[in-house]
Structure 1
Amino acid sequence: MQDATTDDVPLTTDQAADFLTKLGCPTAAATLETQRTRGGGPPYIKSGRHVRYRPSRLRAHADRKMCEVENTAQVQAALVLPTISQIEEATDADKTPMASIHVVAPARGLTRRT
């Protein structure tokens, strides 16, 4: 059993990357930095300009990113595109698919697909 006080000690970005790699989810510190701005990474704590990660949240993140498989057919099944009903469920109140929403940059008036 792990010591609760040790598990609560927040880790730096480099330490978090090493921690995730040891859990079997190879991650570079640069990847964590990118995920902080783009999303998709583990939750983090920010105090001033210092960023820290809780080990318990890193474990949960690694568990979400990995899945157990017995053969390659299971891996291929996991990579199947979403069904139409799943896409419909992911629409907003206006029935606009989230993948087709346009973001307009007000400074230049440029349109960008997200």
Structure 2
Amino acid sequence: MRIGELSRATGVPVRLLRYYEQQELLTAHRTPGGHREYEADAPVQVGRIRALLAAGLTSRTIRELMPCWEGGRLHPCVRDRLTAQLAELNTRIGELSTARDALADLTARVAEVA
């Protein structure tokens, strides 16, 4: 499957597919003419990449997790890694919530002066 076909099959722009390849998340072979050629399961891999990105994982973490798929699921050995990532995300959400409340308070005080 060529890059344009993969783009159409997944809805992911060609430029982004090249980025995934650059980040070593997706692998392509080159034809004798120099065109990228992807394996038949590339749309599934792109779907996995998109799901992991949507979960807030970095490219580096995704690269480490890509070999951990068994069938359509992540291997249980990555549970601790994902749990740690979830805890970090919850911490960030708490910090953002605190910042939002502080900003709302400042905004209310500005409105009182005006």
Short-chain TM bin: 0.3 to 0.5
More strand by share: 1
TM-score (normalised: structure 1): 0.38
